[in-house]
Amino acid sequence: MQSNAASDAVPQQRRVVTAVPGPASVALHERRLAVVPVGVASTVPVYIKRAHGAIVVDVDGNQFIDLGAGIGVTTIGHTDRAVVDAAVAQLDDFTHTLFTITPYESYVRVAELLAEHTPGTHAKKTVLVNSGAEAVENGVKIARKHTGRRGVAVLEHAYHGRTNLTMAMNFKAAPYASGFGPFAGDVYHAPSSYPYHDGLSGADAARRTVAYLEKVVGAPDLACLVVEPIQGEGGFMVPAEGYLPALQEWCTANGVVFIADEIQCGMARTGAWFASEHFGLVPDMVLAAKGIAGGLPLAAVTGRSEIMDSAQPGGLGGTFGGNPVSAAAAVAVFEQIEKNGLLAEAARIEHTLKPALLGLQQKYDVIGDVRGIGAMLAIELVQPGTGATSKEPNAAVVASVAAYAAQHGVLLLTAGTYGNVLRFLPSLALTDELLADAISVIDDAFAAL
């Protein structure tokens, strides 16, 4: 389908024509402050008018290179033509019936595609919901029903959402949970693998995690272990080799449902359909959201059929879950990844960006660690001179570099338990040319410190 959408006319170029934020953004921000609570904070208060590929354009006409993709959502690029066309066609047909009242094909197709593309060849079933947090909630709920157990284990530095249960599952109290209690019980935070800080082998880190689970909870009371194969908000930690397989093995041996929260690291982000593949994992359940529908709200819980079918008819669902427009967009996302070989684009981005970041690490001793896989890379910032020893967090540098980058037309996300990580989560549509331009801005940002 040919389209004349304005977004198609967005040149893939960085361009800063006003102060950032510009006057139109400042005016909108004033209106917003009067009617939107401060709890909803925006990292960069520039108001967006349109976006395409790896560029977003604000209301003042500034064009930003988007290295965040709305926290890993527009993975195949903003306003991907096939995704927009699929959504528009569905909007014309119908916008809602409620799958649990009168169903439609696209929901079923998304479930088929997830069964095909999540790790493992076993029979799988999928329930579609609205957000990542809701996928986590449903994964836990189904695991509890299946096992008849109550305990939920998560890892240190984890992030799982902002609902009541998921607030209890996050590692970081501030800002996610502070003052919002009481929280759900039976959630246990086990030590994780964070090679840059703990220096442990995968086997030793796994022994530590398992010892915690066995002593503090006990397998007979544990329904599930929820892990992000590569932690997102926590700071893109890639666990030591063998760590995750050892955890999965322990879960299998003890009847604990092993749930991979692939909400940030899944859907082609790391050059595999799901990051679990890099570690040889075949999770009992995979949670997907963010990148699955090109920016439309959709999330999924895909699991072994016998586990998923433990929930009674009527026990799963929700008014908007698996919305037909979102589901149609998701089918197009799967097709585009396949048709355009986008897994290779994630690898391309790693091959260009990782050496560049390692180059910056040689130049600036506040860059303590460079890590990640595919288009999910990060640098951890430490106090000058402590990188080889105490690795003291340096959140101030992260804030200045991100602010400098925004002022110069590059949107860069922060992360990390200590706020001292810069993460690179661009869309796979980011060209090498734009990437080189963004890196030069970031280099300048460090030089300007």
Q: Enumerate binding residues for ligand PLZ (CB under 6 A).
A: 71, 131-133, 136, 159-162, 228, 232-233, 261, 263-264, 289
Taking the complex as a whole, the smallest distance from the CB of residue 377 to ligand PLZ amounts, in Å, to 16
Do 251 and 258 contact (CB within 8 A), yes or no? yes
Do 72 and 290 contact (CB within 8 A), yes or no? yes
Segments in 118-237 forming alpha helices (H):
132-147, 164-169, 195-198, 202-212
In the bound complex, which residue of the shown chain has the CB atom lying closest to ligand PLZ?
A: 132
Q: How far apart are CA 200 and CA 243, in angstroms?
A: 10
Q: Which C-beta is closer to ligand PLZ: that of 147 or that of 264?
A: 264
Q: Which C-beta is closer to ligand PLZ: that of 80 or that of 228?
A: 228
Taking the complex as a whole, the smallest distance from the CB of residue 392 to ligand PLZ amounts, in Å, to 25
Q: How many CB atoms lie within 10 A of CB 309?
A: 15
Taking the complex as a whole, the smallest distance from the CB of residue 93 to ligand PLZ amounts, in Å, to 26
Taking the complex as a whole, the smallest distance from the CB of residue 224 to ligand PLZ amounts, in Å, to 14
Q: Which C-beta is closer to ligand PLZ: that of 106 or that of 170?
A: 170
259-to-108, 136, 225, 388 alpha-carbon distances in Å: 22, 9, 6, 34
Which helix or strand (DSSP H or E) is residue 415 part of?
strand 413-415
Taking the complex as a whole, the smallest distance from the CB of residue 41 to ligand PLZ amounts, in Å, to 9
Q: Which C-beta is closer to ligand PLZ: that of 374 or that of 387?
A: 374
CA 39, distance to chain mean position in Å, is 21
Taking the complex as a whole, the smallest distance from the CB of residue 233 to ligand PLZ amounts, in Å, to 6
Task: Give burial (CB, 10 Å; 0-12/13-18/19+) of 119.
Answer: buried
Half-sphere exposure of 437 (CA within 13 A, CB side): 20
* φ/ψ of residue 269, rounded to 5: -55, -40
Q: Which C-beta is closer to ligand PLZ: that of 69 or that of 405?
A: 69
288-to-107, 265, 271, 298, 330 alpha-carbon distances in Å: 14, 9, 15, 9, 11
Taking the complex as a whole, the smallest distance from the CB of residue 121 to ligand PLZ amounts, in Å, to 25
Taking the complex as a whole, the smallest distance from the CB of residue 10 to ligand PLZ amounts, in Å, to 25
Q: Which C-beta is closer to ligand PLZ: that of 171 or that of 364?
A: 171
Do 302 and 282 contact (CB within 8 A), yes or no? no
- The one-character DSSP state at 221 is G
| Residues whose CB is less than 8 angstroms from the CB of residue 396 and which lie 6 or more positions away in sequence, other chains included | none
Cα dihedral 96→99→103→105 (10° resolution): 80
Taking the complex as a whole, the smallest distance from the CB of residue 72 to ligand PLZ amounts, in Å, to 7
Q: Which C-beta is closer to ligand PLZ: that of 286 or that of 379?
A: 286
Q: Which C-beta is closer to ligand PLZ: that of 164 or that of 201?
A: 164
Q: Which C-beta is closer to ligand PLZ: that of 133 or that of 441?
A: 133
